[in-house]
């Protein structure tokens, strides 16, 4: 059911109410293309409906831009649609702040951060549907912005879609991005293959009835026969491997035959090979041995009429949905949640995404709780924060600006004095969250503090602070304690003054090491004694101050 149909069918439903709310909030707003803004959230929600996601996701699709772009608040979403929808919209808003700034080496971390910030896979789905419509309407934007968004889609969102098994979407992302990032190559390719696509499609259309007849004669009825045109970008990459010779690409358009059951797929393969010779080395059983990305299907290339090659893909409806929509396809089957195989399938997905992270964490391995597997819990032990340069840093959960600073460079860690998190000053023990933009303020000659050991999370920071503490200890221990005192007296000049001063000092049982006097109206007398006893020195200073010629008396332990 489309969103429009859902709205018409029941005006009181969550989706209908979300539509009315969004239309009101965005009233009068226009997109860059000049069309009413509501078209964008509506298209986003239609995509989510086509992926057959749940009502909350579709409602979030309709509402995904209201908090960011209209006066509507999160509270009003909670009040009208509940915490779940508000949470999903929140997630999408948070994601919109994460931008790819072209920091190549940390690109994998950026992809992980998007999942970590999302917390719930449905947030990722809404974001992907949002991005799909933005890509389809990219021509309304200025050239520079087109390139930035196309690059971000190609480097970040297409790989995420692939990782989630949403290959159709990933292919579409790459195709649109290709036309903006390499417009000349894209144009060349389109002109090369447009006719060829048409020719091959016609050929397959004329072959399909033959195939159907042969299968029916063997008592096998396909649920559907379909044609799959290869995506432009993947074709472009494949052409490179085949000397740009399009006649060597057999799967430009493939025949897709969909069945109800797995045995039908295998039986059909046998029947097909009986009638048309298979091309050697091109039979692939991805049902018995799924691809690493969980793709399942039987593939064969046969020699068809007129000696032409035909690629045929055989699969069940369920495999088809999963190959197209990946992990999103599991909402299609949620009524069968108790089905053991289904839950196992979902777990296979979750494990696969989990493996994406090098360090295994205690994710939901419990098949009891289906929904819990949709929570992105496997990143809960890690956070992903951004440097002012746009690099994404992967840290353990609970990390602080000090951990961040040491991760960047040991010198930055050692000399950090304060931090700014998302532009606001934050204490050094502040707990960082995924998606935070972190900036460290340093001060020359600043040394690490032992207090940091109470809150740092990374062993790197802890080790550095400990080493610095040890060095400080050693410096303290090796530092010589004062053994002498130098007393400075400023006094009015008079004959015999130095003699009188030394006499007072001698009466206090101080051994004088040296005594000298700089000449002048107010001469400075410097006397060094062999004691560092502060109390005794201070008592002496008082006596010296009582002399009537004395202007000032000071001392320093040396």
For residue 489, the surrounding DSSP H or E stretch is strand 485-491
Whose Cβ is closer to Mn ion: residue 133's or residue 457's?
133
Q: Is 46 a binder of Mn ion (CB under 5 A)?
A: no
Least gap, CB of 64 to Mn ion (angstroms): 6
Contacting range for Mn ion; rule: CB under 5 A; set: 57-65, 136-144, 153-161, 532-540: 57-65
Whose Cβ is closer to Mn ion: residue 130's or residue 345's?
130
Least gap, CB of 85 to Mn ion (angstroms): 16
Tell me whether residue 69 is one of the annotated catalytic residues.
yes
Contacting range for Mn ion; rule: CB under 5 A; set: 65-73, 143-151, 386-394, 401-409: 65-73
Contacting range for Mn ion; rule: CB under 5 A; set: 114-122, 126-134, 352-360, 470-478: 126-134
Whose Cβ is closer to Mn ion: residue 95's or residue 269's?
95
CA distance 377 to 4: 34
CA distance 108 to 309: 39
- Alpha-carbon Rg for the chain in angstroms: 37
Count of helix runs (H) and strand runs (E) in the chain: 21, 14
Residue 195, C-beta contacts closer than 8 angstroms, at least 6 positions apart: none
Return the residue of 46, 84, 120, 130 that touches Mn ion, per CB under 5 A.
130
Whose Cβ is closer to Mn ion: residue 37's or residue 406's?
37
Residue 249, C-beta contacts closer than 8 angstroms, at least 6 positions apart: 230, 235, 238, 239, 242
Contacting range for Mn ion; rule: CB under 5 A; set: 125-133, 177-185, 327-335, 380-388: 125-133
Whose Cβ is closer to Mn ion: residue 44's or residue 316's?
44
The active-site residue, picked from 68, 108, 226, 530, is 68
Least gap, CB of 92 to Mn ion (angstroms): 8
CA distance 413 to 403: 8
Whose Cβ is closer to Mn ion: residue 130's or residue 322's?
130
Contacting range for Mn ion; rule: CB under 5 A; set: 129-137, 233-241, 263-271, 371-379: 129-137
Task: State how far the alpha carbon of 239 is from the alpha carbons of 200, 233, 248, 316, in Å.
Answer: 17, 10, 9, 30
The active-site residue, picked from 55, 69, 196, 549, is 69
Least gap, CB of 329 to Mn ion (angstroms): 24
Least gap, CB of 40 to Mn ion (angstroms): 6
Tell me whether residue 205 is one of the annotated catalytic residues.
no
Residue 278, C-beta contacts closer than 8 angstroms, at least 6 positions apart: 272, 300, 301, 302, 303
**Residue by residue, what is the 3-state secondary structure of 118-177?**
HCEHHHHHHHHHHHHHHHHCHHHCCHHHHHHHHHHHHHHHHHHHHHCCCHHHHHHHHHHH
Whose Cβ is closer to Mn ion: residue 65's or residue 264's?
65
The answer to whether 383 and 116 are in contact (CB under 8 A) is yes
Least gap, CB of 454 to Mn ion (angstroms): 43
Whats the size of the chain, residue-wise? 558
Return the residue of 59, 63, 65, 345 that touches Mn ion, per CB under 5 A.
65
Nearest to Mn ion by Cβ — which residue? Answer: 130
State the residue for tokens 């994404």. Answer: 392
Least gap, CB of 138 to Mn ion (angstroms): 13
Q: Report, as residue numbers or ranges, the catalytic residues.
A: 68-69
The residue ranges that bind Mn ion (CB under 5 A) are 65, 130
């Amino acid at each position: 059911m489309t969103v429009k149909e859902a709205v018409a069918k029941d005006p009181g439903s969550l989706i209908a109410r979300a539509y009315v709310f969004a239309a009101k909030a965005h009233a009068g707003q226009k997109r860059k293309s000049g069309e009413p803004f509501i078209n964008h959230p509506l298209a986003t929600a239609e995509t989510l409906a086509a992926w057959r996601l749940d009502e909350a996701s579709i409602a979030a699709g309709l509402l995904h831009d209201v908090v960011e772009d209209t006066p509507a608040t999160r509270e009003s979403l909670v009040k009208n649609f509940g915490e779940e929808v508000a949470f999903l919209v929140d997630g999408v808003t948070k994601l919109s702040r994460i931008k790819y700034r072209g920091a190549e080496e940390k690109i994998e971390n950026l992809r992980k951060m998007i999942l970590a910030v999302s917390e719930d896979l449905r947030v990722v789905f809404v974001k992907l549907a949002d991005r799909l419509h933005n890509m389809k309407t990219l021509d309304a934007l200025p050239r520079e912005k087109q390139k930035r968004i196309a690059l971000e889609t190609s480097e970040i969102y297409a790989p995420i879609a692939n990782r989630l098994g949403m290959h159709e979407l990933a292919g579409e992302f790459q195709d649109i991005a290709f036309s903006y990032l390499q417009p000349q190559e894209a144009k060349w390719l389109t002109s090369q293959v447009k006719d060829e696509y048409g020719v091959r499609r016609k050929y397959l259309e004329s072959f399909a009835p033959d195939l159907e007849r042969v299968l029916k004669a063997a008592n096998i009825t396909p649920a559907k026969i379909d044609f799959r045109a290869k995506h432009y970008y993947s074709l472009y990459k494949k052409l490179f491997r085949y000397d740009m010779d399009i006649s060597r690409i057999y799967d430009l358009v493939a025949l897709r035959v969909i069945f109800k059951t797995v045995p039908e797929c295998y039986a059909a393969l046998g029947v097909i090979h009986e009638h048309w010779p298979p091309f050697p080395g091109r039979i692939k059983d991805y049902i018995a041995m799924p691809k690493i990305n969980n793709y399942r299907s039987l593939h064969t290339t046969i020699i068809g009429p007129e000696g032409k090659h035909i690629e045929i893909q055989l699969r069940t409806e369920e495999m088809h949905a999963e190959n197209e929509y990946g992990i999103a396809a599991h909402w299609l089957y949620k009524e069968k949640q108790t089905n053991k195989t289904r839950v196992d399938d979902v777990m296979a997905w979750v494990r696969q995404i989990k493996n994406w992270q090098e360090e295994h964490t205690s994710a939901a391995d419990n098949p009891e709780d289906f929904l819990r597997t949709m929570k992105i819990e496997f990143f809960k032990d890690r956070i992903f924060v951004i440097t002012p340069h746009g690099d994404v840093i992967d840290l353990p959960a609970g990390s602080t600006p000090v951990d961040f600073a040491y991760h960047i460079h040991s010198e930055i860690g050692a000399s950090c004095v304060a931090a700014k998190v998302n532009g606001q000053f934050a204490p050094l023990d502040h707990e960082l969250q995924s998606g935070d933009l972190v900036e460290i303020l340093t001060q020359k000659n600043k040394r690490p503090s032992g207090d940091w050991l109470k809150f740092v999370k990374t062993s790197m920071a802890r080790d550095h602070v400990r080493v610095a503490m040890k060095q400080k200890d050693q410096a303290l221990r090796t530092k010589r304690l004062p053994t002498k005192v130098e007393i400075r007296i400023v006094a009015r000049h008079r004959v015999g003054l130095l003699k009188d001063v030394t006499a007072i000092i001698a009466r206090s049982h101080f051994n004088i090491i040296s005594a000298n006097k700089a000449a002048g109206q107010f001469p400075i007398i410097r006397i060094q004694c062999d004691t560092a006893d502060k109390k005794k020195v201070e008592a002496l200073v008082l006596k010296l101050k009582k002399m009537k010629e004395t202007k000032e008396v000071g001392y320093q332990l040396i």
